[in-house]
Amino acid sequence: MRTQVAIVGAGPAGLLLGQLLHRSGIDNIVLERRSREHVLGRIRAGVLEEITVSALAEAGVDARLRREGLRHEGVQLSFGGERHRIDLHRLSGGRHVLVYGQTELTRDLTEARAASGLATDYEVPDVTLHAFDTTHPQVHYTRGGRPVRIECDFIAGCDGFHGVCRASVAPAALRIYERAYPFGWMGLLADTPPLDDELLYVNSPRGFALCSMRSRTRSRYYVQCPLTDSVRDWSDERFWGELRERLDPGSAARLITGPSIEKSLAPLRSFVAEPMRFGRLLLAGDAAHIVPPTGAKGLNLAASDVLMLSQALEEHYRGRSSGLAHYSDRCLRRIWKAERFSWWLTSLLHRFPDDEFGGRLQHAELEYLVGSEAARAAFAENYVGLALEPPDHPGGPASGAAGSRHDPQ
């Protein structure tokens, strides 16, 4: 079997890339380890940057998003028992974010791919990559007990943090940068009205909390919890009680609770693998980087990676290779800025064990943030999403490495 691009992973990165390539007439197949139902059952991100929305529009998958997505022009911060609004729209020069669940986004992309008649093989757990350091890479797997061999021009590694693509690269060819956090997020989804019209990020002496939403009738909440906890440790009653303890009095009084329809524990980590290109293998999304969800960047970085990757591949098939040559550095310059913002906001809002001095620094920084127009503007431009570099931007290498390795074109 032959295709131009073999995409490993049917999460947001793989599916969005598949649609963008299809719109440019580039043939592709998507290979997914899990079932379609399993992928569609995941509850994850909730906030989309305008760049992500425009990428979905370019892919022709933005109709429901524009109907049902909630436009948010501000976010709220709560600390010391008080709330402060950051006017994203005014401070970012008219920009906003859209609240629309990743679950719905993945469903829209999945349905669009099926409607396009594009090949997607679900439940193929044994994908292996071959010869991606040549101009004739291959992907092998079994389907229905029979071996399948795909010959392609490129392999797109969109298979997330635990995928096979980054794991197929020789360790000596990878530079890994990582920071783990001594806590996780317990998340709860409920069909209850959200606390407010906007998101509320909370720094409380008991720990971080986040009041988010999926619609005007479905709420999404998170509380910081020890990594040693499990969902079994958190009854609905305990979750609602702890959340209420972390909220300012006015918010606590307005909180509407109800039975959870989903609860999950997410560990927090910062992670970047450099570079993102290895010959004809290109990594995108969580396969290459992870951010703590505090800054709502994970899904949005995946979208900007595949937007830049689709531009580079389109250029390749038009006979120019500079996009591919600069793909990794162009992505990494934006990724590291999002890593910084996500690390900074996580460090600012979470309670770190045995760090009273750090707690006082957090309070001073929060007071500075809400009291400074410049600091609020810096927050706003990062939260709504930094601009994409144009494809021909001369920017130098993003990483400390001396240039990128020789790669077959």
Q: Which residues are catalytic?
A: 72, 201, 293, 297, 383
Could you tell me which residues come within 8 angstroms of residue 86 by beta carbon, excluding any fewer than 6 positions away?
74, 75, 76, 77, 370, 376, 379, 380, 383
Residue 373 CB coordination number (10 Å): 9
Binding test (CB under 6 A) with ligand FAS, winner from 70, 119, 266, 370: 266
d(CA 153, CA 6): 8
DSSP, res 396 = -
Distance of CA 303 to the CA centre of its chain: 8
CB of 45 to ligand PHB, least distance (A): 5
Token couple for 20 = 């963008």
| Residue 33 contacts ligand FAS per CB under 6 A | yes
CB of 316 to ligand PHB, least distance (A): 35
Nearest CB to ligand FAS, comparing residues 266 and 370? 266
| Residue 331 contacts ligand FAS per CB under 6 A | no
3-state helix, strand, coil in the chain (%, to 5): 40, 25, 35
Binding test (CB under 6 A) with ligand PHB, winner from 294, 304, 310, 346: 294
Residue range at the interface with ligand FAS (CB under 6 A); choices 2-10, 191-199, 251-259, 383-391? 2-10
3-state secondary structure of 26: coil
| Residue 296 contacts ligand PHB per CB under 6 A | yes
CB of 271 to ligand PHB, least distance (A): 17
H/E stretch holding 290: strand 289-290
* Range 152-191, binding ligand FAS (CB under 6 A): 158-160, 162-164
CA torsion angle 33 158 210 57 (round to 10): -110
| Site track 342-371 with ligand FAS (rule: CB under 6 A), x = hit | ------------------------------
Amino acid, single-letter form, for residue 233: D
| Residue 13 contacts ligand FAS per CB under 6 A | yes
Nearest CB to ligand PHB, comparing residues 212 and 260? 212
| Residue 32 contacts ligand FAS per CB under 6 A | yes
Residue range at the interface with ligand PHB (CB under 6 A); choices 10-18, 163-171, 249-257, 294-302? 294-302
